[in-house]
Structure 1
Amino acid sequence: MQNFHPTGICPIRDILSHLSSKWATLILITLNANKTMRFSDIQKSIGDISQRMLTVTLRSLETDGLISRKIYAEIPPRVEYMLTERGYSLIPHIESLVNWATDNMPMIMKNRENK
Protein backbone atom coordinates (compact mmCIF):
# COMPACT_ATOMS: atom_id res chain seq x y z
CA MET A 1 0.00 0.00 0.00
CA GLN A 2 1.37 3.42 -0.93
CA ASN A 3 0.91 6.02 1.80
CA PHE A 4 0.53 9.77 1.38
CA HIS A 5 1.01 10.94 4.94
CA PRO A 6 2.21 14.51 5.46
CA THR A 7 5.74 13.75 6.64
CA GLY A 8 8.28 16.30 5.53
CA ILE A 9 7.66 18.02 2.21
CA CYS A 10 4.96 16.32 0.16
CA PRO A 11 5.13 17.60 -3.43
CA ILE A 12 1.59 16.44 -4.15
CA ARG A 13 0.07 18.37 -1.25
CA ASP A 14 2.30 21.39 -1.72
CA ILE A 15 1.87 21.92 -5.47
CA LEU A 16 -1.79 20.98 -5.64
CA SER A 17 -2.64 23.30 -2.77
CA HIS A 18 -1.39 26.20 -4.90
CA LEU A 19 -2.80 25.08 -8.22
CA SER A 20 -6.11 23.66 -7.08
CA SER A 21 -7.75 27.04 -6.73
CA LYS A 22 -9.84 27.93 -9.73
CA TRP A 23 -8.14 31.32 -9.84
CA ALA A 24 -4.61 29.98 -10.24
CA THR A 25 -5.65 27.72 -13.08
CA LEU A 26 -7.66 30.45 -14.79
CA ILE A 27 -4.79 32.93 -14.49
CA LEU A 28 -2.33 30.45 -15.99
CA ILE A 29 -4.70 29.66 -18.88
CA THR A 30 -5.35 33.38 -19.44
CA LEU A 31 -1.64 34.22 -19.54
CA ASN A 32 -0.99 31.31 -21.88
CA ALA A 33 -3.68 32.55 -24.27
CA ASN A 34 -2.71 36.22 -24.11
CA LYS A 35 1.05 36.02 -23.37
CA THR A 36 1.89 39.29 -21.58
CA MET A 37 -0.86 41.02 -19.64
CA ARG A 38 -1.36 43.88 -17.23
CA PHE A 39 -3.16 43.37 -13.92
CA SER A 40 -6.36 45.08 -15.09
CA ASP A 41 -6.43 43.03 -18.29
CA ILE A 42 -6.14 39.79 -16.35
CA GLN A 43 -8.98 40.92 -14.09
CA LYS A 44 -11.16 41.85 -17.08
CA SER A 45 -10.38 38.58 -18.83
CA ILE A 46 -11.42 36.47 -15.83
CA GLY A 47 -14.31 38.71 -14.85
CA ASP A 48 -15.48 37.57 -11.43
CA ILE A 49 -12.18 37.62 -9.53
CA SER A 50 -11.75 40.30 -6.88
CA GLN A 51 -8.75 42.61 -6.93
CA ARG A 52 -7.53 41.16 -3.62
CA MET A 53 -7.82 37.54 -4.79
CA LEU A 54 -6.06 38.35 -8.05
CA THR A 55 -3.22 40.03 -6.15
CA VAL A 56 -2.84 37.12 -3.73
CA THR A 57 -2.94 34.52 -6.50
CA LEU A 58 -0.48 36.38 -8.72
CA ARG A 59 1.95 36.66 -5.80
CA SER A 60 1.64 32.94 -5.08
CA LEU A 61 2.22 32.00 -8.74
CA GLU A 62 5.19 34.36 -8.88
CA THR A 63 6.67 32.89 -5.69
CA ASP A 64 6.39 29.41 -7.22
CA GLY A 65 8.17 30.62 -10.36
CA LEU A 66 5.21 29.98 -12.66
CA ILE A 67 4.78 33.61 -13.70
CA SER A 68 7.04 36.63 -13.80
CA ARG A 69 6.25 40.25 -13.13
CA LYS A 70 7.96 43.10 -14.91
CA ILE A 71 7.70 46.62 -13.50
CA TYR A 72 8.24 49.59 -15.79
CA ALA A 73 9.49 52.83 -14.24
CA GLU A 74 6.75 55.05 -15.62
CA ILE A 75 4.19 57.34 -14.10
CA PRO A 76 1.83 55.71 -13.39
CA PRO A 77 3.89 52.53 -12.96
CA ARG A 78 3.09 49.76 -15.42
CA VAL A 79 3.31 46.12 -14.37
CA GLU A 80 3.08 43.20 -16.76
CA TYR A 81 2.73 39.50 -16.02
CA MET A 82 3.76 36.56 -18.18
CA LEU A 83 4.33 32.83 -17.85
CA THR A 84 7.83 31.63 -17.10
CA GLU A 85 9.39 28.59 -18.72
CA ARG A 86 8.18 26.57 -15.72
CA GLY A 87 4.70 28.00 -16.17
CA TYR A 88 4.66 27.05 -19.84
CA SER A 89 5.76 23.51 -18.93
CA LEU A 90 2.62 23.18 -16.79
CA ILE A 91 0.18 24.28 -19.52
CA PRO A 92 -0.10 20.91 -21.34
CA HIS A 93 -1.11 19.27 -18.05
CA ILE A 94 -3.71 21.94 -17.33
CA GLU A 95 -5.04 21.66 -20.88
CA SER A 96 -5.36 17.89 -20.42
CA LEU A 97 -7.38 18.47 -17.26
CA VAL A 98 -9.54 21.08 -19.00
CA ASN A 99 -10.18 18.69 -21.90
CA TRP A 100 -11.05 15.90 -19.49
CA ALA A 101 -13.46 18.18 -17.62
CA THR A 102 -15.08 19.34 -20.86
CA ASP A 103 -15.50 15.76 -22.11
CA ASN A 104 -16.86 14.42 -18.82
CA MET A 105 -18.92 17.34 -17.50
CA PRO A 106 -22.24 16.30 -19.11
CA MET A 107 -22.14 12.85 -17.47
CA ILE A 108 -20.90 14.25 -14.17
CA MET A 109 -23.79 16.73 -14.11
CA LYS A 110 -26.21 13.93 -14.97
CA ASN A 111 -24.82 11.81 -12.12
CA ARG A 112 -25.22 14.72 -9.70
CA GLU A 113 -28.86 15.18 -10.71
CA ASN A 114 -29.55 11.52 -10.01
CA LYS A 115 -28.18 11.64 -6.44
Structure 2
Amino acid sequence: MDVFLRDCPTRAVLELIASKWTMLVLVALEDGRPMRFAELRRRLDGVTPKVLTSTLRAIEREGLLTRSVYPTVPPRVEYRLTELGREVGGLLQAITDWSQANIAAIRSAREEYDERAARLAEDAVEPVRP
Protein backbone atom coordinates (compact mmCIF):
# COMPACT_ATOMS: atom_id res chain seq x y z
CA MET A 1 0.00 0.00 0.00
CA ASP A 2 1.21 3.46 -0.90
CA VAL A 3 -0.63 6.33 0.78
CA PHE A 4 0.43 8.63 -2.04
CA LEU A 5 -1.64 6.67 -4.58
CA ARG A 6 -5.23 7.84 -4.93
CA ASP A 7 -6.74 4.36 -4.57
CA CYS A 8 -4.88 3.50 -1.37
CA PRO A 9 -7.40 2.58 1.36
CA THR A 10 -5.18 4.23 3.96
CA ARG A 11 -6.27 7.62 2.61
CA ALA A 12 -9.80 7.11 3.94
CA VAL A 13 -8.38 6.43 7.41
CA LEU A 14 -6.14 9.49 7.22
CA GLU A 15 -9.06 11.63 6.06
CA LEU A 16 -11.12 10.52 9.05
CA ILE A 17 -8.30 11.01 11.57
CA ALA A 18 -7.37 14.41 10.11
CA SER A 19 -10.91 15.69 10.70
CA LYS A 20 -10.99 18.31 13.44
CA TRP A 21 -13.90 16.70 15.26
CA THR A 22 -12.47 13.19 15.01
CA MET A 23 -9.17 14.40 16.45
CA LEU A 24 -10.91 16.17 19.31
CA VAL A 25 -13.14 13.17 20.13
CA LEU A 26 -10.14 10.84 20.18
CA VAL A 27 -8.16 13.19 22.43
CA ALA A 28 -11.17 13.72 24.74
CA LEU A 29 -11.51 9.96 25.18
CA GLU A 30 -7.77 9.27 25.26
CA ASP A 31 -7.55 9.02 29.07
CA GLY A 32 -9.59 5.79 28.94
CA ARG A 33 -12.62 7.12 30.81
CA PRO A 34 -15.93 6.46 29.04
CA MET A 35 -18.02 9.50 28.20
CA ARG A 36 -21.67 9.98 27.39
CA PHE A 37 -22.87 11.91 24.35
CA ALA A 38 -23.88 15.04 26.30
CA GLU A 39 -20.55 15.05 28.12
CA LEU A 40 -18.64 14.82 24.84
CA ARG A 41 -20.78 17.58 23.35
CA ARG A 42 -20.03 19.88 26.28
CA ARG A 43 -16.32 19.03 26.07
CA LEU A 44 -16.17 19.74 22.32
CA ASP A 45 -17.32 23.34 22.35
CA GLY A 46 -18.99 24.25 19.07
CA VAL A 47 -19.83 20.78 17.74
CA THR A 48 -23.42 20.27 16.67
CA PRO A 49 -25.32 17.13 17.72
CA LYS A 50 -25.57 16.06 14.07
CA VAL A 51 -21.82 16.40 13.46
CA LEU A 52 -20.94 14.67 16.73
CA THR A 53 -23.28 11.77 15.96
CA SER A 54 -21.81 11.40 12.47
CA THR A 55 -18.26 11.59 13.82
CA LEU A 56 -18.88 9.01 16.53
CA ARG A 57 -20.43 6.60 14.01
CA ALA A 58 -17.49 6.99 11.63
CA ILE A 59 -14.97 6.41 14.42
CA GLU A 60 -16.90 3.38 15.66
CA ARG A 61 -17.08 1.96 12.11
CA GLU A 62 -13.27 2.08 11.87
CA GLY A 63 -12.92 0.19 15.15
CA LEU A 64 -11.50 3.11 17.13
CA LEU A 65 -14.26 3.30 19.72
CA THR A 66 -17.04 1.26 21.22
CA ARG A 67 -20.57 2.40 21.92
CA SER A 68 -22.20 0.74 24.91
CA VAL A 69 -25.95 1.06 25.48
CA TYR A 70 -27.27 0.31 28.97
CA PRO A 71 -30.93 -0.68 29.45
CA THR A 72 -32.01 2.19 31.68
CA VAL A 73 -34.75 4.76 31.29
CA PRO A 74 -33.69 6.81 29.46
CA PRO A 75 -31.07 4.57 27.85
CA ARG A 76 -27.51 5.37 28.92
CA VAL A 77 -24.97 5.35 26.10
CA GLU A 78 -21.23 5.54 26.71
CA TYR A 79 -18.33 5.86 24.32
CA ARG A 80 -14.88 4.46 25.00
CA LEU A 81 -11.78 4.06 22.85
CA THR A 82 -10.70 0.61 21.76
CA GLU A 83 -7.04 -0.41 21.97
CA LEU A 84 -6.62 0.81 18.40
CA GLY A 85 -8.33 4.09 19.31
CA ARG A 86 -6.12 4.59 22.37
CA GLU A 87 -3.05 4.10 20.19
CA VAL A 88 -4.05 6.79 17.71
CA GLY A 89 -5.43 8.94 20.54
CA GLY A 90 -1.98 9.02 22.11
CA LEU A 91 -0.48 10.21 18.84
CA LEU A 92 -3.13 12.92 18.52
CA GLN A 93 -2.59 13.96 22.14
CA ALA A 94 1.09 14.55 21.25
CA ILE A 95 0.01 16.73 18.30
CA THR A 96 -2.40 18.62 20.58
CA ASP A 97 0.36 19.18 23.15
CA TRP A 98 2.73 20.39 20.42
CA SER A 99 0.06 22.77 19.08
CA GLN A 100 -0.55 24.26 22.50
CA ALA A 101 3.17 24.61 23.23
CA ASN A 102 3.83 26.37 19.91
CA ILE A 103 0.73 28.51 19.41
CA ALA A 104 2.56 31.77 20.18
CA ALA A 105 5.19 31.10 17.49
CA ILE A 106 2.50 30.05 15.02
CA ARG A 107 0.45 33.19 15.66
CA SER A 108 3.55 35.33 15.24
CA ALA A 109 4.43 33.65 11.93
CA ARG A 110 0.82 34.07 10.77
CA GLU A 111 0.85 37.80 11.57
CA GLU A 112 4.20 38.31 9.79
CA TYR A 113 2.91 36.44 6.74
CA ASP A 114 -0.32 38.48 6.64
CA GLU A 115 1.64 41.74 6.93
CA ARG A 116 3.96 40.72 4.05
CA ALA A 117 0.99 39.65 1.92
CA ALA A 118 -0.79 42.95 2.59
CA ARG A 119 2.33 44.94 1.61
CA LEU A 120 2.70 42.92 -1.59
CA ALA A 121 -0.95 43.49 -2.44
CA GLU A 122 -0.57 47.24 -1.86
CA ASP A 123 2.55 47.34 -4.06
CA ALA A 124 0.74 45.46 -6.82
CA VAL A 125 -2.09 48.02 -7.07
CA GLU A 126 0.00 51.19 -6.84
CA PRO A 127 0.93 52.62 -10.21
CA VAL A 128 4.61 52.61 -11.06
CA ARG A 129 5.98 56.15 -11.19
CA PRO A 130 8.76 57.01 -13.62
Q: With the length of structure 2 as denominator, give the TM-score of the two structures.
A: 0.77
How large is the RMSD of aligned CA atoms in angstroms? Answer: 1.9
1: CA distance between counterparts of 2:59 and 2:8?
Answer: 19
Cα distance per residue 1:18-74 (max 9 Å; x no partner): 011111111111112361111111111112110001000000000011110011122
Matched with 1:23 is 21
Which has the greater radius of gyration? 2
Matched with 1:9 is 8
Please tell me the residue identity of whatever aligns with 2:5. Answer: H
2: CA distance between counterparts of 1:3 and 1:93?
Answer: 18
Note closer, same or farther for the CA distance 1:67–1:3 as it changes in structure 2 (3 Å cut). Answer: closer
1: CA distance between counterparts of 2:39 and 2:90?
Answer: 23
Note closer, same or farther for the CA distance 1:57–1:10 as it changes in structure 2 (3 Å cut). Answer: same
2: CA distance between counterparts of 1:32 and 1:104?
Answer: 21
1: CA distance between counterparts of 2:47 and 2:66?
Answer: 20
Secondary structure of the corresponding residue to residue 32 of structure 1: coil
Matched with 1:90 is 88
Aligned residues with identical type, % of pairs: 33
Q: Where does 1:1-115 land on structure 2 (aligned, <5 Å)?
A: 4-6=4-6, 8-11=7-10, 13-33=11-31, 35-115=33-113
Unpaired runs of 5+ in structure 1? none
The count of corresponding residues between Structure 1 and Structure 2 is 112
Q: With the length of structure 1 as denominator, give the TM-score of the two structures.
A: 0.86
| 8 Å Cα contact 2:68-2:79 kept in structure 1 | yes
Secondary structure of the corresponding residue to residue 70 of structure 1: strand
Unpaired runs of 5+ in structure 2? 114-130
Runs (4+) off by over 3 Å: none
